[in-house]
Structure 1
Amino acid sequence: MPEWQTADSFSFGIISGKAAAEILADVLPDTVAIVREAYLAQAEGRAHNPRSHFLRFDDRPTDRIIALAADLGDESAVAGLKWISSWPENVAAGIPRASAVLILNRRDTGYPFAVLEASLISAVRTAASAVLAAESLISAVRPLSERARDLRIGFIGCGIIARNIYDMFRARRWKFREVAAYDTDDGSASAFLEHVEPGAATLLARTQHELIAGSDMVVFATTAARPHVFDLKAFEHNPLILHISLRDLSEQIILASNNIVDDVDHCLQADTSPHLAEKLTGGRAFITGTITDAMSGTVTIDPGRPTVFSPFGMGILDLAVGRFIYQEARRRNLVVDIDDFFHEKHRW
């Protein structure tokens, strides 16, 4: 039993979104290291991440709830499940698109010991994954002489995920010569640029093509259900593309690029852009490598092609960040304990 877990098998606590946000605000740049270790645990077989399960609705085709189970079998072993919903129409009503809870389970008894409000955990682990990929790939994509002049970054889709990714870059001390934004809702793009640090050069792009062609790094953080970017000419300068929303790029753009994924089997499902490319070609030869390959420097990136990072989003990341938050919440007395949650406690 890990030393941070109570000896009481029936202990159970809740960590609110407010508590999680308080902790994450203090440790934001450090979450990249937590995500990095989770990826390494997966690659080395110390973690297990079965395929996600999608609950869809015949009467609400744009909505879904996803179950992401995971197991981190390291020295601080824990298992768990993220249950996250995506309701894109919420945004028009002034409600965030995604809501989530994270359940943490003991590995000695199987009992759940905590539930965490996890919408911010999910957003932060996504941002940490994106920035980790950028830090791992940028040297292969842009020579040091070019990076020294600072980079132009563009965001397509300007909601909560985009803001968290930008905030993570800033927390990790990245500097950008220009920050551009494009969204089908001009108000969202303008609000995003207002979120950017005061004094930074910003651009409200008129079209996706304008943003892509003018950016060294492009972040896709949309709610697109199918590809909507088809113009290969916009990528002629071979940018680094953080394809966080997974379904924006056409098969032809994927096939013309270096492709880095978090996990091949996970990413090539559910009609992601790489999955569509696999369906088109009948194979996976277009996959260049994984994020752990990029981290170790063992992947070969062709600088004469765009480089696309497509992370399907793995439950091990939520579990790793959630475990850290639980440990820190315990230390700060931020866990709301429910002594009589399990009826078995009163039978044994």
Structure 2
Amino acid sequence: MIDERLWFDQADTGLAGAGTVTVLSRDDVRGCLRDLDPVEVVRATLAEHDRGRCVLPAEAYLRWENAEGAYTRSIGMPGGVRSEPPSYGMKIINASVSNPAAGLDRAGGIGLCFDPETARITTVLEAGLLSAVRTAAVSAVGVDAAGYDGARSLAIVGCGAQGRMHAALLRRRLPELRAVSLFDRSPAAARRLAATLDHGDLQVTVHAEAREAVAAGEVTVLTTTADEGYVEPDWPRPGALVVNVSLGDLTDATLLGAAALYVDDLDLVADNPRRPLGRLMAAGLVARPDGGGGPARPIDATLGGLLTGRYAARGVAAPYVVLNPFGMGVLDVALYAAVAAHARRAGIGSPVRLG
């Protein structure tokens, strides 16, 4: 048997204790977000990434089927931002497509902030809310960067947590917005979202078919659980921006037929053949912006490159423009750092002594 002093006397063992971490609940995170602008955090981090000041390792991906046979997964996404002050951390986001039927959001998880000097975990945050905020903030930045900030109509296909967050954020970010079109496979979910938006200043329509909603939007946001493409090239309104948040909604022909195709990170696309755009790159049908003039359809720009001026946006272009953001963990890490810093200043959160 090991002498119990080796377990309890840190000085004798020389082992470093884990120290104290601050735990931020969803309510804590929500309180911090009231005083932060996540869109500006995401915008600044995308630009820093384009300047080479971010660390974006490959994600860890674990998939299984639960007792109901539903697709269930866990993704670990580390990242770092080398600007001052630097921020390092990790997102662990888990999901099951059977969760909504059980009254749960499809996805949830935790975020971790690391001390830049010691690598100790300093903060643990509820990440489900921040993940939805980050995703919607990327879309908002993309709408601006692609030249669609004057859009008067918005379509949202998929009215779950991501759809609701996009509706709330884009309503504030599109000053000319006059009409919102909604579709969800659950009409009740679409009606619930419509009820939150219908305050007299917007024309809100719940459509019976996804195609009807897509055709109505100058900006269309797809936030579904689709794993097979169904949006065909003749669905979008001429000149529309299609934000392919859920990544699986557009057919290959729709991706290849875009007037402009924007992504958040080229390596994320190339390294993920599970997703349609990554599969098209692996097949030699889609190439990086400097693809060399071959037969492959080049990606036109990254969001960060548009923000820094390394690429020029096409603007409103026919037949339509596609933004296909894969999801950069470094953006979550930057948001975690901003929330954690605000929580420290405001005395928000619960300190937990781990040892």
TM-score (norm 2): 0.86
The structural deviation recorded for 1:280 is: 4.3
Output aligned runs, 1:179-190, within 5 Å: 179-190=180-191
Mind listing any 5+ residue stretches in structure 2 that lack a counterpart? 1-16, 288-296
SS of 1:102 mapped into structure 2: strand
Would you say the 8 A contact 2:158–2:224 is kept in 1? yes
1:227 shift after superposition: 1.4
In structure 1, stretches of 5+ residues that fail to align are 1-7, 343-348
Check the 8 A contact 1:182/1:205 in 2, yes or no: yes
- Which residue number corresponds to residue 273 of structure 1? 276
- Map of 1:103 onto structure 2: 112
- Structure-2 residue corresponding to 1:90: 99
Equivalent of 1:294 in 306, 328, 340:
306
| Cross-structure match for 1:3 | none
What's the secondary structure of 1:252's corresponding residue? helix
3-state DSSP class of the match of 1:100?
strand
Partner AA of 1:287 in structure 2: I
Letter matched to residue 205 of structure 1: H
Q: State the partner residue of 1:222.
A: 224
Distance 1:224 1:295, change over 3 A: same
Q: How far 1:282 moved relative to its partner?
A: 4.2
CA distance in structure 1 between the partners assigned to 2:213 and 2:174 by the alignment:
23
Moved more, 235-244 or 58-67: 58-67
- 2:181 is the alignment partner of 1:168: no
Q: Decide whether the 8 Å contact of 2:47 with 2:305 is kept in 1.
A: no
Deviation sequence 1:259-318 (CA, Å, 0-9, x none):
100001113414223123224444414311100222245224272231111111111111
Pick aligned residue for 1:206 from 208, 226, 229 = 208
Q: 1:58 Cα shift?
A: 4.8
Paired residues of 1:255 and 1:286 also in contact (CA < 8 A): no
2:29 pairs, out of 17, 20, 23, with 20
- Post-superposition Cα deviations, 1:202-260, rounded to whole Å, max 9, x if no partner, equal 1111212211222111000001122122x222236131011111111011100001110
The equivalences for 1:331-346 within 5 A come to 331-339=345-353, 341-342=354-355
Asked whether the 8 Å contact 1:163–1:192 carries over to 2, the reply is: yes
| Correspondence for 2:59 | 52
| Gap change, CA 1:176 and 1:158, over 3 Å in 2 | same
Distance in 1 between residues matched to 2:188 and 2:75, nearest whole Å: 29
Equivalent pair of 2:158/2:223 in contact (CA under 8 Å) = yes
Inter-partner Cα distance in structure 1 for 2:147 and 2:301: 15
Q: Does 1:239 align with 2:240?
A: yes
Cα displacement string for residues 119-177 of structure 1 (whole angstroms, at most 9, x for unaligned residues): 111111111110010011125xx9xxxx4xx5111000011111111211233353422
Equivalent-residue separation in structure 1 for 2:285 and 2:321 (angstroms)? 21
Partner residue of 1:252? 253
Specify the code of the residue in structure 1 equivalent to 2:251: S
C-alpha separation between the residues in 2 aligned to 1:58 and 1:122? Answer: 23
Match of residue 35 from structure 1:
42
Change in 2 beyond 3 A, CA 1:239/1:172: closer
Distance 2:321 2:135 in 1: 18
Q: Kindly name which structure, 1 or 2, has the bigger radius of gyration based on alpha carbons.
A: 2
Q: Which one-letter code corresponds to 2:229 in the other structure?
A: P
3-state SS of the aligned residue for 1:267? helix
Partner of 1:324: 338
Contact in 2 for aligned 1:251/1:276 (Cα 8 Å) = no
Q: Judge conservation of contact 2:23–2:125 (CA < 8 Å) in 1.
A: yes
User: In the alignment, is the contact (CA less than 8 A) between 1:159 and 1:188 conserved in 2?
Assistant: yes
Distance across 1 between alignment mates of 2:215 and 2:170: 21
Change (3 A) 1:277 1:236: farther
Deviation at 1:106, TM superposition (A): 1.1
Identity of aligned residues (%): 25
Worse-matched range after superposition: 294-303 or 115-124: 294-303
Who is 1:308 aligned against?
A: 322
Greater displacement, 123-132 / 70-79: 70-79
- Of 317-326 and 262-271, more deviation after overlay is shown by 262-271
CA distance in 1, matches of 2:269, 2:113: 24
Instruction: Indicate conservation of the 8 Å contact 2:171/2:177, yes or no.
Output: no
TM-score normalised according to structure 1 size: 0.87
Distance 1:236 1:168 in 2: 22
How many corresponding residue pairs? Answer: 323
Tell me what 1:155 maps to: 156
The letter of the residue matching 1:217 is V
In the alignment, does 2:278 pair up with 1:264?
A: no
Aligned to 1:138: 147
Give the distance between the partners of 1:280 and 1:210, measured in 2 at CA.
32
